[in-house]
Each structure stands twice: as structure tokens, then as C-alpha cells.
Amino acid sequence: MKKLTVMAFVGLVAAAMSLNAADVKENWAKHCAKCHGEDGKGQTKMGAKLKAKDYTDASVQAKLKDDEMFKATKDGVKTPDGKVQMKGFADVLSDDEIKALVKHIRTYKK
């Protein structure tokens, strides 16, 4: 019985992790890829226009702080003159979903 309980727990954890991975990829595709690209390189029409960072570049990744990426994703980014460069997603993504996106960005580093 103990073995069955442990196996069931491991199965649930694995299922939750795979759902989370699917959710973050879905959120990336829905909210981020238009500018940052499916591959995180920022080589899209909008990415070029907005000068999106190449998240596959190790030097870019080294300069990025998780808390700054979280804040930018949640609250958005404005240019020095106050124009919205990236809208915030606080109204459509939970803090946990934003944290998962930040973690996802780290997977692009080469």
C-alpha cells in the first residue's frame, strides 16, 4: 500500500509538472512570441521594431535579473519618454505564471 501511495504521488507531481510546462509554453506563445519569437531570439517584425533582446545570447542573459524580468512582465516597460514599449500582463497572468515565464526565458540561453 505504501508503495502504491508513493507511486501515485510521484505520478501526480509528474503530471503537475508537465501541465506547468505546457501552460508556460502556451503563455509564451500567446503573450510573448509575437515580439520575442518562439525561439526567444526576438527576430520577429515586432521584435525588430521594439529592439527585443535575444534571450539565446549568454551575455544578454547575464545582464538580466529575474526580479527585473518579473517586474517588466507584470507591469510592462516604458521608454524614457513614457511610451509603452511592452504592456504589462498583471491583468491576465498570475504571479506564478509570470515566474514560470521568467524561468522559461532562462531555458533559451545557449
Instruction: Give the tens place of pLDDT for each residue, 44-95.
Output: 999 999 999 999 999 999 999 999 999 999 999 999 999 999 999 999 999 9
Using CA of residue 63, residue 68, residue 69, residue 70, what is the dihedral sign?
Answer: positive
Has this prediction a pTM greater than 0.75? yes
Which distant-in-sequence residues (6+ apart) come within 8 Å of 52 by Cβ?
35, 36, 37, 42, 44, 46
Q: To 5 degrees, how large is the angle CA 36–CA 39–CA 45?
A: 40
Residue 15 is predicted with a pLDDT of 44
Domain that holds residue 12: 2-106
Structural domains counted in the chain = 1
* CATH number for the domain harbouring residue 87: 1.10.760
Which distant-in-sequence residues (6+ apart) come within 8 Å of 30 by Cβ?
none
The gap between the terminal CA atoms of the chain, to the nearest Å, is 45
